[in-house]
A = this chain, B = another copy of it.
Amino acid sequence: MNNNLVISVDAMGGDKSPRVVIEGLAIAIKKNPDARFILFGDEAKVKPILEQYPDLSKVCELRHTSEMVRNEDKPSQVIRNRNTSMYMAIDAVKKGEAQAIVSAGNTGALMAISKLVLKTITKIHRPAIVSIMPHRTGKYVMLDLGANTECSAINLAEFSLMGDILARNALGIEKPRIALLNIGAEEMKGKEEIRQAAQLIKNSKMNIDFRGYIEPHEIPNGVADVIVSDGFTGNIALKSTEGTARLVIRMVKDAVKSSFWAKLGIPFMLGVILKIKKTMDPRLYNGAMFVGLNGLSVKSHGGTDALGFSVAVNNAISLVRQNFVTTIREEIEKVDLDELAQEAIYDVY
């Protein structure tokens, strides 16, 4: 392996591993023929499938692991077992053998081991879980989606910076518009830490386009490129969005099925149905990124298929190409949030 772009992969994570993982990598190499992979997993299970993909085999190194993290395992347990495919895959990033790790396994475990092994970037207080999501005319970056139930103003300010870097690198937006998720647009609305974060960002040396607060119903209109919140709020917003999208589509389907006339109209609508399916396909937005660590950790949905897994891998690769971790490290060096935080807290009162 003399190539620089190496991704470490937990072959045992996810509901249909290792098959979906390997098939996903086979799709990913078509877009990224220069990428190399280190696969961690049970050789007896992984090797027979891998051999079916000769092109992929050439760029994969398989390392045998006898143990794996299960869905029901608690973070406190999994961090003590260094022999699981997930732990070893993350460890490969720490050792510098790979630049990012992708796993479809247990989210809590992946976050716990990633934090323990990779460690948070100096000067960043907390890592965040980030996703890229669709709005009416494009995509936006949203963080934190669940790593931190409660967040201070400093955490939120740091997320803004990381989100800015991510939107520039992953979405190619030159000057991303950053907004804090809140329940009103007025300055005095919402929680104390959100108001403090707004002050902190405004007073900081962060060179970002901060637009103030955004309410959840405005997100789909594409008025901001980065939405920042604590992990509890972000997770609530994300899951409300997912549930509602599924509800509306289900209601349309049920209504069409129950109507004789509507069924006759389906042939005319096929193109539209395909188009909407494609825009809303959750597989295309797969791959939540854990950012703020010394190395990138990407979590694929456990129930996704090969296409979904390939999207998570491609996300990881594209951020590695942009030197994402180094960029965060450099940008955070330029601002001194700790010093400013005291001022901000003072200003609010």
Contact = CB atoms under 8 A, between A and B. Distances in A.
B190 A216 contact: no
Interface in A181-240: 181, 183, 190-191, 215-220, 231-233, 235-237, 239-240
A149 B183 CA distance: 9
A232 B183 contact: yes
B252 A252 contact: yes
Interface stretch (A94-102, A271-279, A289-297): A271-279
Nearest to A279: B251
A183 B146 contact: yes
Interface in A249-281: 249-252, 255-256, 259, 261-262, 264-272, 275-276, 279-280
Contacts of A241: 240-241, 243-244
B252 A136 contact: no
A274 B347 CA distance: 52
Contacts of A216: 236, 239-240, 242-243
A271 B256 CA distance: 9
Interface in A132-154: 135-136, 146, 149-150
A348 interface: no
A248 interface: yes
Q: How many copies does the complex hold?
A: 2
Contact of A268 (B150, B231, B247, B262): B262
A246 interface: yes
Contacts of A269: 256, 261-262, 265, 269
A245 interface: yes
B250 A248 contact: no
A272 B255 contact: yes
A177 to B, nearest CB: 17
Given A240-B241, A246-B217, A271-B259, A252 B276 contact: yes
A146 to B, nearest CB: 6
Contacts of A149: 183, 190-191
A218 B237 CA distance: 13
A236 B181 contact: yes
Contacts of A233: 232-233, 236
Contacts of A244: 220, 240-241, 244-245, 248
Contact of A255 (B146, B256, B276): B276
29 contacts: A135-B247, A136-B250, A150-B191, A181-B236, A183-B232, A183-B235, A215-B239, A216-B243, A217-B246, A218-B243, A219-B240, A236-B237, A236-B240, A237-B237, A237-B240, A244-B245, A245-B247, A248-B248, A248-B280, A251-B276, A251-B280, A252-B276, A261-B271, A262-B269, A262-B271, A264-B268, A265-B265, A265-B266, A265-B267
- Top 4 A-B pairs ranked by shortest CB distance? A265-B268, A217-B243, A220-B247, A240-B240
Given A237-B240, A244-B248, A259-B271, 18 more contacts: A135-B247, A149-B183, A149-B190, A181-B236, A183-B236, A220-B246, A236-B240, A240-B241, A241-B241, A241-B243, A248-B280, A252-B252, A255-B272, A255-B275, A261-B269, A262-B272, A264-B268, A268-B268
